[in-house]
Amino acid sequence: MKKLAWATILAATASTSVFAGEYQSQVGLDLGQNERDTSATDTLRSKHATLVGTFYTRKVDTSKGPLAEAAFLDKATDFTAYYTRNDADSDDVNLDDSYGMSGRIVNDDDWILELAYDYDDSANVGIGIGKYITDTLDIVFSYTGNKDDDEQTFAAKVHGLSGKFGYNAYFAFLEQEQYSGNKAAGDITYYLNDNLGFGFQANTESLEEMNHTGYGLFADWFVKENIELKLSADRVDHEMELTEYNLVLGAAMRF
């Protein structure tokens, strides 16, 4: 299963306030550049483009806090689909495209059901169950399985908003064939205002020969209430002193 570490840095300052409104769908495009050491002397460079669309079963209220947190704060039910095209700079390397779909359903009692399917040279199927603990904090326990690769992931994740800070925490137990390991990740965002947030993320994974640690910076800027820009940069340190760098620029529009 391919995993891409996402982080962001955006050189922008703004103190703009926006008129609170509503939206029911969102379409976005991410363009990324990846550079990864494959040995002490060789580096693989690749690019990707991801098209993603999200539809909400009702209009999402954007007046409750940061625009990036609108769907979370409004406890919205959504369905998402994406397609990613991957291209390597080397003709000797063939990278598979990936696609998937997911849903997050929130009922009137604040219970959460998450479903996910994605395909990246093999199929991954996931299900999660959770609940809003408060109006600004939820926790979800999930299971993801990949029959072809004999992979299983048991995870817990927390998402919350406190004052001007948004945060995520994730911990998982991993099983792959005869191996087992764990993964931990987290990020924190400081919102200067409802339009603009900057943050830091870190993650670590230990699974036999796939141990790595990553970290990066990120930002999310709503130029207008319905137009979002993102720019991400991160570094991942693998075993044997091999390093990976990711840079992603994204844009999205809400309708």
Residues 220/41, Cβ–Cβ less than 8 Å: no
**Average pLDDT along the chain:** 90
Residue 69, pLDDT score: 98
Residue 92, pLDDT score: 74
How large is the average pLDDT for residues 147-159? Answer: 94
Residue 161, pLDDT score: 98
Q: What is the pLDDT of residues 237-253, one digit of tens each?
A: 988 778 999 999 999 99
How large is the average pLDDT for residues 110-136? Answer: 97
pTM of the shown model: 0.88
The burial class, CB within 10 Å (0-12 / 13-18 / 19+), for 96 is exposed
What is the Rg, in whole angstroms, of the alpha carbon atoms belonging to the chain? Answer: 18
Q: Which two tokens stand for residue 3?
A: 């995993």
Residue 40, pLDDT score: 65
Q: What is the pLDDT of residues 11-48, one digit of tens each?
A: 333 333 344 589 999 999 999 999 988 776 688 899 99
Protein fold of 24-254: Porin (2.40.160)
Query: Is the Cα dihedral 148, 122, 90, 235 positive or negative?
Result: negative
Q: Is 208 helix (H, G, I), strand (E, B) or coil?
A: coil
Residue 240, pLDDT score: 74
What confidence tier does 2 reach under pLDDT thresholds 50, 70, 90? very low
Q: How far apart are CA 60 and CA 67, in angstroms?
A: 10
Residue 165, pLDDT score: 98
| CA 33 to chain CA centroid, nearest Å | 16
